[in-house]
Amino acid sequence: MKAFREILAASGLLFAILTAVYGYSTLPQRIPTHFGDNGVVDVWSDKSSLWFPVGIACVVYVGMTLIRYAPESSANYPFDTQQRAAARPIGHTMVAWLKAEITWIFAGVTWSMVASAWGRNPDLTTWLTPLALGVIFVTLLYHIVRMVRLKPANAGAQ
């Protein structure tokens, strides 16, 4: 499953980069950079702003990859020592899923910008935000519930 999550995250990053690289030369000088709630473009900017969501995707990918290598003392789990040891892998799994999800969100934003600039409105933005927030919320909720359900180390002694 680790490999699947990493491939998913890396493919999202690669999709964002390739979309920007291959689309950039064919884009007009001004491209859509913000979409309203209804999916209609409400802000236009220079085409160089296409690199902003790609840059965020890169920072998210690298930053969330490095979290795995943070010292154990940097995680502030409100558990005793044994529970903390059990919670740490759950936290790493949560971060790995979030990395894949967030990377794909920015890949979708990049694609929306390019497709809209080409005159093809993929109608992605009307459902991308609620879907993305829903998936992130479910991921956070699932992993936090798993951590909260960890049994205290001294539960059997009471």
Structure confidence at residue 47 (pLDDT): 94
State the burial class of residue 20 (Cβ atoms within 10 Å of its Cβ: 0-12, 13-18, 19+): buried
Give the list of residues 6+ apart from residue 28 with CB closer than 8 angstroms, or none.
47, 117
Residue 146 belongs to domain spanning: 2-151
User: Is residue 156 situated within a structural domain?
Assistant: no
Half-sphere exposure of 10 (CA within 13 A, CB side): 7
48 belongs to a structural domain: yes
- What's the pTM? 0.85
Phi, psi for 96 (deg, rounded to 5): -65, -45
How many domains does the structure of the chain reveal? 1
Residue 158 covered by a domain: no
| Domain assignment present for 10 | yes
Residue 21 included in any domain:
yes
Question: Is 82 inside any structural domain?
Answer: yes
Tens-digit pLDDT profile for the chain (158 aa)? 889 999 999 999 999 999 999 999 999 999 988 877 777 788 889 999 999 999 999 999 999 999 988 887 777 767 777 787 788 889 999 999 999 999 999 998 898 889 888 887 655 666 777 889 999 999 999 999 998 888 765 554 44
Does residue 53 lie within any of the structural domains? yes
The 10s digit of each residue's pLDDT in 94-130 is 999 999 999 999 998 898 889 888 887 655 666 777 8
Judge whether 101 lies within some domain: yes
The SS3 assignment for 34 reads strand
